[in-house]
Amino acid sequence: MAFKPVERNTIDIKKNDVGVAYTGVFVSRKDIQTELGPQAIWNFMADDDKPFSIYGFTSLNYSMEHVQVGQLCRITYKGKSPTKNKYGKYPHQVLVEIDDAENEGESIPF
């Protein structure tokens, strides 16, 4: 047998510059308990078959509720909101996009 260390690649995207994006297939959500309370960790598989995870926060958690397991996602950190929330803080914002290749080239009637 040969053992190798397990890689833990969990990213706090709020510590990145605005506009930094991560792309991967959504695999699962894991809920953990921290000293500040419950927190979600969103798990993905990158193109190179390497797993990565992103720590959840309000904007990301709400957006990810609409993503199905197996969907290709691009998650882009957008910085802090220009307006304060009800707690008097400037919340972090994220753009979550899903690959909609099956409808590519089709026009959407309005």
Inform me whether the pLDDT recorded for 59 exceeds 70. yes
**DSSP H or E stretch at residue 61:** helix 58-64
State pLDDT tens for residues 61-85.
999 998 999 999 999 999 999 999 8
Would you state the pLDDT for residue 102?
Answer: 60
Would you state the pLDDT for residue 64?
Answer: 96
Mean pLDDT of 91-105: 82
Would you state the pLDDT for residue 101?
Answer: 73
**Between β-strands 37-45 and 21-34, what pairing exists: parallel, antiparallel or unpaired?**
antiparallel
Domains of the chain (ranges plus CATH)?
Answer: 10-99 (2.40.50)
What is the chain's mean pLDDT, rounded? 88
At 25, give phi and psi (nearest 5°).
-85, 130
- Cα separation, 82 vs 27, whole angstroms: 32
Inform me whether the pLDDT recorded for 10 exceeds 80. yes
What is the pTM for the complete model shown? 0.80
Q: How many residues does the chain have?
A: 110
The full DSSP string for 70-91 is T-EEEEEEEEE-SS--TTS---
CA 7, 16, 20, 34 torsion: positive or negative?
positive
Would you state the pLDDT for residue 110?
Answer: 39
